[in-house]
Copies of this chain bind each other. A is one copy, B any other.
């Protein structure tokens, strides 16, 4: 007989779901045992479930096909939810398998009993609780199909343990992902009409419209019409770097973003939603486009925005923008500006940048546009603790590309366990930790929410300087070699060495 666990594994593999980030427990043991009977699944052990979900997100964003996770009951799923939230906003296809107590055991209130589906529904509208073992192949196939359905989501499959150890019948057939629909000629024509009024029309790109093809087409449109092109700052993945067209990234703070969009009367949304600020603030509206600016959907979240842009763009190739690599900074104490400059000078061609810089982002970010061509990935859902897991997933999806994780020190602490998996899998990841010893973004946000700033007790709640974190020890304790840089020259030397080395390296940048 083929038991449910083996049937599940075979169904995943039939549809090219080839990587599973896992932190299994008792109820998932049959799935783990099946790894030896069924070859082909890369099982990546993580020491905390938030690493699993974040890595699956990073994998899906870079591989363009679903990653999977294997988690233990309600609490195991709970630990993964924050990064499933990010994956939801990134529209990443993920098949999340969650073990559940055996059906007989479920009627009792055992210590680990919980409403697993309730945890799942908080981040997913595709939640299946397997009803019998024989249903495994079909249900797993549906989960894969749901994960891949545009725009992409986490499909949750909750598997009672007895269905893993019972006879399950045949695996599900291969699922071919549903292609994204291309907007029809009418919509393209309307957009072309709006582009004629280039002074007051903008394009806002997100989703797959920010991948190579979409960015290139947008560049041709901009060159031809003079229209302004903007990018969702939280989009899952953006093709960036020297020589590429750079849509204007919407700023984090709404007053800056409002200035960017000032004067627009029409905004064409390409796999993007109506732009809003990150938070709401007293006396300020949430939308950032001018009040009388009309929103037009050129491509919905489910459609192919890149294809729509291609149809809009001139067939001519845009002029190639030639640009020299930036010079290396030198001398003096380390600054965010110098870090940005060093990164842009030293980043290898075709790298992947995972950005969890938070308050350090603004000075560094402009430099990255001048780095060699790369893919850029931020926290799509704003939940911190994603930077390093995202790097794990990207490195596993793209083993031949260097991954650079730019990580704030406060944020690094949420899923610090990532370092162990990075070392274990010997992933080609360079991590830069921005050690400002503060939840610095909150310095700004405190004032913005109208609170009267920080008294001594409030100040303590954003000061993480005591005890002082030592990321070289933390990294070393999990098997990742690490150094500290306090000067520009130290940073440049350490970053250059890390970029030349293959495998993990962490640099704690002392700010």
Contacts and interface: CB of A to CB of B under 8 A. Distances in A.
B279 A26 contact: yes
A473 B477 contact: yes
B479 A477 contact: no
Given A22-B461, A122-B115, A469-B477, A451 B30 contact: yes
Interface string A28-59: 01101101110000010101101000000000
A442 B27 CA distance: 10
Interface string A456-479: 111011101011111111101111
A409 to B, nearest CB: 10
Contacts of A474: 473-474, 477-478
Interface string A79-112: 1011001100100000000000110111111111
Interface in A286-308: 286-287
A506 B196 CA distance: 69
A45 B460 contact: yes
Contact of A82 (B75, B454, B460, B469): B75
A114 interface: yes
Contacts of A85: 74-75, 78, 114
A383 B162 contact: no
A385 interface: yes
Interface of A: 22, 24-27, 29-30, 32-33, 35-37, 43, 45, 47-48, 50, 74-76, 78-79, 81-82, 85-86, 89, 101-102, 104-112, 114-115, 118-119, 121-123, 161-162, 164-165, 234, 273-274, 276-282, 285-287, 379-385, 410, 413-414, 416-417, 420, 423-424, 441-442, 445-446, 448-458, 460-462, 464, 466-474, 476-480
